[in-house]
């Protein structure tokens, strides 16, 4: 095997190892500075006031974020109790929103939300 082919293989192996390491470490890194943009995007898409907890980066299922302790408030004209509480919300973002424009959530998976029953 020639020297350039060996070099290319080594570089590809190192790049793959770095990508895997970053993907494994990413969920443990808090990126709460992005919380404001994520909160605004959720409020705009749900048309309700939203409160969020910690935000973690997630590369393997996204790219996106894991948002902890999401409280979705009810429309005040309907009721005063919160609409739903979500322990962990997986939010995937539009790649284009990372460099040009407002945050756009492509998909959000609430897992198992705790919904408040409506009063009849």
Concatenating the DSSP letter of every residue in 18-66 gives HHHHHHHHGGGSB-GGGHHHHHHHHHHHHTS-EE---EEEE-TT-SEEE
**In a domain? residue 89:** yes
Pairing of strands 114-115, 105-109: unpaired
Task: Give the Cβ contact number of residue 108 at 10 Å.
Answer: 20
**In a domain? residue 24:** no
Structural domain of 78: 30-115
**In a domain? residue 2:** no
**In a domain? residue 109:** yes
pLDDT (tens place) for every residue of the chain, 120 residues total:
677 888 888 999 999 988 888 877 766 776 777 788 888 888 888 888 999 998 888 777 667 788 888 898 988 788 778 888 888 888 776 666 556 655 555 455 555 655 555 544
Residues 46/48/49/52 CA torsion (nearest 10 deg): -30
**In a domain? residue 80:** yes
The rounded distance, in Å, linking the Cα atoms of 117 and 29 is: 35
Claim: this prediction has a pTM higher than 0.95: no
**Domain count across the chain:** 1
CATH code, domain carrying 68: 3.10.450
**In a domain? residue 7:** no
**In a domain? residue 13:** no
């Amino acid at each position: 095997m020639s020297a350039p082919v060996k070099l290319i293989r080594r570089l590809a192996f190192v790049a793959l190892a770095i990508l895997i390491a970053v993907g494994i470490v990413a969920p443990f890194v808090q990126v709460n500075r992005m919380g404001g943009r994520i909160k605004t995007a959720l409020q705009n898409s749900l048309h309700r006031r939203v409160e969020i907890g910690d935000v973690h980066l997630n590369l393997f299922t996204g790219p996106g974020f894991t948002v902890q302790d999401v409280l979705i408030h009810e429309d005040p004209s309907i009721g005063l109790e919160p609409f739903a509480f979500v322990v962990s919300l997986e939010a995937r973002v539009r790649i284009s929103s990372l460099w040009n424009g407002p945050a756009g959530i492509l998909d959000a998976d609430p897992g198992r939300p705790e919904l408040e029953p409506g009063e009849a």
